[in-house]
């Protein structure tokens, strides 16, 4: 029987993970099947336990279950512990479940390896303080930017996130209204505003000349934030498709011990 993996979420039909992992498996010669599971909103934990009892080897977890997966895991990787959210579950040899969060490494690899963006020494603005922002904040700080400002519509959430990052590097918090007069080399949108084709209420002129814009959201059309980045004359205005593939590659590596090449898979998805 082939090793069984899946992504669980609700809704789940839209997920690109099966396509991505099928491409990784083909490329690396790993023998596995990867399915979609529509998680039950009430009985998510039962669905996960059943999947692993039936021989499943690993799960990706997506909206709205990442926090419940974090609560369910028997042990946590450092990133998942910090993010208080799990997007990857692995069954350990003793049957216990390990929870990991690969969003941060996915974003950093997309920026630094795929796009050659220098994070070290740069001024970074991270917009948002929800699950995605928590998942990427510590990884960004590890790159030792000159400055990391986390700004959120509800500024107290940004404050709480920054307090949890204490001692890990130079990081400050604020509300969106505090951004006037500041400038950043890289602006990352980790808010959910794009789901309604909106952008966060940020002032024009906060992107430094030659600066970059990155939207965690992705879409077949340019997202609202990518369009905003272009209007600000960003040197690059990128969406989160590369991050999606990179975080999947990290899950694949955790499960199989083999690191797939991401560039051809990003190219296939971009073309589609
Ligand atoms: P959450 O619901 O956890 O957080 C939402 C965040 O967005 C909060 O900070 C919220 O602010 C803010 N927000 C929502 N609407 C607005 C608005 N109109 N203006 C300003 N701020 C707003 O969502 P997630 O963190 O899970 O997801 C955020 C985005 O990241 C989604 O688009 C998701 O698709 C994307 N994502 C992409 C990944 C990838 O691999 N490319 C991986 C994970 C996420 P407040 O606190 O004030 O409510």
What pTM was computed for the model? 0.96
Q: Are 130 and 190 in contact (CB under 8 A)?
A: yes
Backbone torsions φ then ψ of 92, nearest 5 degrees: -85, 165
Residue limits of CATH 3.40.50.720 in the chain? 104-239
Q: How far is the CA of 208 from the centre of ligand 1 (A)?
A: 24
Question: Which atom of ligand 1 is nearest to 132's Cα?
Answer: 25
The answer to whether residue 78 scores a pLDDT higher than 70 is: yes
> Is 16 marked active-site?
no
Burial grade of 131 (CB within 10 A; 0-12, 13-18, 19 or more): buried
Q: How far is the CA of 245 from the centre of ligand 1 (A)?
A: 19
Which strand ranges, in their side-by-side order, compose the sheet holding 171-175? 171-175, 147-152, 123-127, 184-189, 207-215, 236-238
**Section 171-189 average pLDDT:** 97
Mean pLDDT of the chain: 96
Share of the chain above pLDDT 70, in %: 100
Catalytic residue among 16, 26, 66, 236: 66
Q: Is the CB of 200 under 6 A from ligand 1?
A: yes
Residue range 228-269, pLDDT digits in tens: 999 999 999 999 999 999 999 999 999 999 999 999 999 999
Counting ligand 1 atoms within 8 A of each CB, the residue from 190, 197, 239 with the most, and so the one to mutate, is 190
pLDDT band at 2 (very low <50, low <70, confident <90, very high): confident
Return the residue whose CA atom lies nearest to atom 15 of ligand 1: 193
Q: What is the CATH number of domain 3-101+247-271?
A: 3.40.50.10860
pLDDT band at 95 (very low <50, low <70, confident <90, very high): very high
Residue limits of CATH 3.40.50.10860 in the chain? 3-101+247-271
How is domain 104-239 classified at the CATH fold level? Rossmann fold (3.40.50)
Q: Is the CB of 248 under 6 A from ligand 1?
A: no
Q: Is the CB of 242 under 6 A from ligand 1?
A: no
Q: Is the CB of 240 under 6 A from ligand 1?
A: yes
Question: Which atom of ligand 1 is nearest to 218's Cα?
Answer: 41
Q: How far is the CA of 258 from the centre of ligand 1 (A)?
A: 31
pLDDT at 1: 63
Q: Token digits for 36? A: 């979609």
**Section 74-103 average pLDDT:** 96
């Amino acid at each position: 029987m082939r090793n069984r993996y899946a992504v669980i979420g609700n809704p789940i039909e839209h997920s690109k993970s099966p396509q991505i992992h099928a491409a990784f498996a083909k490329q690396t010669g790993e023998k596995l099947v990867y399915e979609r599971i529509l998680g039950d909103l009430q009985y998510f934990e039962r669905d996960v336990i059943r999947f692993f009892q039936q021989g499943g080897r690993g799960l990706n977890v997506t909206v709205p279950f990442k926090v419940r997966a974090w609560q369910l895991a028997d042990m946590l990787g450092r990133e998942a512990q910090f993010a208080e959210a799990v997007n990857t579950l692995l069954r350990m040899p003793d049957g216990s479940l390990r929870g990991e969060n690969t969003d941060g490494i996915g974003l950093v690899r997309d920026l630094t390896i795929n796009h050659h963006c220098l994070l070290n020494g740069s001024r970074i603005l991270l917009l948002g303080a929800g699950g995605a922002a928590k998942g990427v904040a510590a990884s960004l700080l590890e790159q030792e930017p000159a400055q990391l400002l986390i700004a959120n519509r509800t500024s107290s959430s940004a404050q709480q996130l920054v307090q949890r990052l204490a001692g890990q590097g130079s990081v400050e918090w604020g509300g969106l209204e505090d951004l006037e007069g500041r400038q950043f080399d890289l602006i990352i949108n980790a808010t959910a505003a794009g789901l309604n084709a909106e952008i966060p209420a940020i002032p024009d002129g906060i992107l430094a000349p030659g600066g970059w814009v990155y939207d965690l959201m992705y879409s077949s059309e340019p997202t609202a934030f990518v369009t905003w980045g272009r209007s600000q004359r960003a040197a690059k205005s990128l969406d989160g498709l590369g991050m999606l593939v990179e975080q999947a590659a990290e899950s694949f590596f955790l499960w199989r011990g083999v690191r797939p090449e991401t560039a051809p898979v990003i190219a296939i998805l971009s073309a589609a």
